[in-house]
């Protein structure tokens, strides 16, 4: 599979050399690129003036006192299954998934090790390893022209073997030819016959290459992953109960301006991947940069995207509970920053790094609660400010990794902790 420089044989060789284990906890990282409007979603201000509170009203959830936007009725019925952090406070403020993929600022965050900071799934890949048929760290991030919103970031100072394997085509509707499975993209994987045909073509071509160039054992193991049943079956939604698939909604594979498409069934693909053995799955959904032009204005786009997110996310959380995976699979949903309290002349909210939200679920966390609070206009945290790295420390904890004690060494021999000194998992969630 083509994957941002990832060499699957290298990954397998590294695992073999390290003799690493196979205990299994997982994280699904759902990135909403462009800056989702926290005030209109999960931190509403109904008592504020109209230029702040916006067009929507809050509704009650199944958790007393936990209210959020009326366009999330399905999430309201399962609010006991997640927690909302309303006081995420240290966004770098740039259009870039770097902070939501690595936990680190891209600039001004101290000394960066040679090779850069890794995608957080690289730590799990390095420390915990992959299961035999499924890479530990995978990506369902669609590339985009704006905001670098499709970059899950790579292995950083740990190198290509631990970078996320990318499992999506550039264009969900296009036939792509590369060293991945020819013609294979997530929407087309529902066609089982085409999947098998692609696998057979890829296997035949690789076996022919092996006869001429003497592929080593790790290339053959890589071939087994690509042509084995676990990974391909996880990607093949035709193997899922149609009633379950329908719960998640219907994909909209059209790119919106310069953002990723609305591939809502990737939430289901992510669940199937962690069930198959992936440890970290990163994915992006739609484009949330809703300002600047009249046809992108905030409340129009909210009426389009909020219901899709409501359906797909509630389906994922319910699915995990029904399958008994809620203790083993953690979920985080967030964007790179929030939105301004005051609505601009185009009925939109501008960029606002001083306050944003994160929704967290599963992983054995304490859910059905709200953490933190913001000012009356939603502009500043007033209670329990939370850092991006605290979210990652919590996710590492859910993976079974102690972020305060564990280190990974870079190529210069310097050890690095997974988070900065003094950062700990969020006590309200895992204390």
Q: In whole angstroms, give the CA distance from residue 198 to residue 157.
A: 34
Q: Is the dihedral of CA 419, 422, 427, 431 positive or negative?
A: positive
**Per-residue pLDDT band at 375 (split at 50, 70, 90):** very high
* Residues 257-274: tens digit of each pLDDT: 888 999 999 999 999 999
pTM, 2 dp? 0.86
Judge whether residue 182 has pLDDT over 70.
Answer: no
Lowest mean pLDDT among 34-43, 207-216, 381-390: 207-216
- pLDDT value of residue 352: 98
| Torsion angles phi and psi, residue 42, rounded to 5 | -120, 5
Element (H, E) at 50: helix 50-53
- pLDDT value of residue 192: 39
- For residue 328, give the nearest of 403, 392, 368, 275 by alpha carbon: 275
- pLDDT value of residue 188: 44
- pLDDT value of residue 131: 85
- Site of tokens 């409501």: 310
For 118, which DSSP code?
P
Q: Are 371 and 86 in contact (CB under 8 A)?
A: yes
- pLDDT value of residue 171: 62
**Per-residue pLDDT band at 133 (split at 50, 70, 90):** confident
Question: Within 10 A of 192 (CB to CB), how many other CB atoms are there?
Answer: 14
Q: Is the dihedral of CA 111, 116, 121, 123 positive or negative?
A: negative
Task: Identify which has the larger pLDDT, 130 or 101.
Answer: 101
Judge whether residue 12 has pLDDT over 80.
Answer: no
Tokens matching residue 427:
């006590």
Element (H, E) at 298: helix 298-322
Coil, strand, or helix at residue 156? helix
% residues pLDDT > 90 (the chain): 68
* Residues 109-129: tens digit of each pLDDT: 778 999 999 999 999 999 999
Residue 63 to residues 52, 69, 253, 364, Cα–Cα distance (Å): 25, 14, 34, 18
The whole-number average pLDDT for the span 211-217 is 42
**Per-residue pLDDT band at 13 (split at 50, 70, 90):** low
- pLDDT value of residue 6: 39
Lowest mean pLDDT among 166-170, 327-331, 361-365: 166-170
**Per-residue pLDDT band at 219 (split at 50, 70, 90):** low
**Per-residue pLDDT band at 342 (split at 50, 70, 90):** very high
- pLDDT value of residue 197: 52
Q: In whole angstroms, give the CA distance from residue 161 to residue 121.
A: 12
Domains and CATH numbers, the chain: 8-430 (3.40.720)
């Amino acid at each position: 599979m083509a994957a941002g420089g990832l060499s699957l044989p290298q990954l397998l060789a590294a695992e073999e050399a390290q003799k690493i284990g196979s205990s299994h906890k997982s994280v699904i990282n759902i990135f909403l690129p462009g800056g989702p409007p926290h005030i209109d979603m999960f931190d509403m201000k109904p008592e504020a003036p109209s230029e702040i509170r916006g067009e929507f009203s809050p509704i009650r959830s199944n958790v007393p006192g936990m209210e959020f936007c009326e366009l999330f009725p399905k999430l309201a019925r399962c609010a006991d299954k997640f927690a909302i952090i309303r006081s995420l406070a240290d966004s770098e403020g740039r259009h870039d998934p770097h902070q939501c993929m690595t936990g680190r600022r891209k600039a001004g965050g101290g000394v960066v090790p040679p090779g850069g900071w890794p995608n957080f799934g690289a730590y799990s890949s390095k420390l915990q390893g992959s299961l035999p048929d499924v890479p530990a760290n995978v990506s369902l991030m669609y590339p985009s022209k704006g905001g670098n919103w499709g970059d899950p970031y790579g292995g950083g100072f740990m190198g290509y073997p631990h970078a996320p394997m990318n499992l999506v085509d550039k264009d969900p509707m296009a036939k792509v030819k590369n060293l991945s499975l020819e013609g294979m993209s997530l929407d087309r994987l529902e066609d089982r016959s085409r999947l098998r045909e692609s696998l057979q073509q890829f296997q035949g071509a690789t076996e022919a290459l092996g006869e001429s160039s003497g592929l080593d054992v790790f290339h053959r193991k890589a071939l087994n992953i690509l042509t084995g049943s676990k990974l391909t079956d996880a990607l093949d939604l035709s193997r899922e109960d149609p009633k379950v698939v329908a719960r998640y909604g219907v994909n909209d594979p059209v790119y919106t301006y310069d953002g990723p498409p609305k591939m809502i069934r990737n939430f289901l693909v992510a669940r199937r991947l962690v069930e198959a053995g992936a440890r970290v799955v990163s994915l992006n959904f739609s484009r949330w940069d809703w300002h600047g032009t009249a046809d992108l204005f905030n409340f129009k786009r909210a009426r389009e995207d909020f219901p899709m997110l409501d359906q797909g996310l509630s389906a994922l959380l319910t699915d995990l509970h029904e399958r008994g995976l809620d203790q083993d699979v953690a979920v985080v949903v967030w964007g790179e920053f929030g939105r301004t309290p005051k609505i601009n002349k185009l009925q939109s909210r501008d960029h606002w790094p001083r306050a944003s939200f994160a929704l967290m679920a599963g992983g054995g966390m304490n859910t059905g609660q709200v953490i933190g609070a913001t000012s009356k206009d939603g502009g500043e945290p007033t209670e329990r400010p939370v850092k991006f790295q605290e979210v990652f420390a919590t996710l590492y904890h859910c993976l079974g990794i102690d972020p305060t004690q564990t280190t990974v060494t870079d190529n210069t021999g310097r050890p690095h902790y997974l988070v900065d000194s003094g950062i700990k998992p969020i006590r309200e969630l895992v204390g």
